[in-house]
Amino acid sequence: MSLPPPTGRDLGEQPISGLLAAHGLKTHDLVAASTEQITHKMVQRACKGRWLTDNVRAKILRALNKASGQEYKQDELFNY
């Protein structure tokens, strides 16, 4: 039995969670790496699949790219 698709603003765990784990990064690592204003709560919400604005998703993407040394695209972090 498969689960119904997520509805509303809760979109289920996102690929960013796996990427953070694969690089051995924590929420704080992204906040510390960012030169923009992001919070621990923003990163936690991104991982849990709460809907975020395009601007916040872009900030998190830039922070992950800087912290990991990789060049990810937004569709590799979020599935919405």
Judge whether 3 lies within some domain. Answer: no
Judge whether 54 lies within some domain. Answer: yes
Judge whether 8 lies within some domain. Answer: no
Judge whether 21 lies within some domain. Answer: yes
Domain with 40, as residue range(s), is 15-77
Judge whether 66 lies within some domain. Answer: yes
Residue 57 has pLDDT above 60, yes or no: yes
Q: List, for residues 4-51, the tens digit of each pLDDT value.
A: 555 677 888 999 999 999 999 999 999 999 999 999 999 999 999 999
Q: What span, in angstroms and rounded, lies between the C-alpha atoms of 65 and 72?
A: 6
Q: How many domains does the chain have?
A: 1
Confidence of residue 67 (pLDDT cuts 50, 70, 90): very high
- Name the pTM for this structure: 0.85
Could you tell me if 57 and 44 are in contact, meaning their C-beta atoms sit under 8 angstroms apart? no
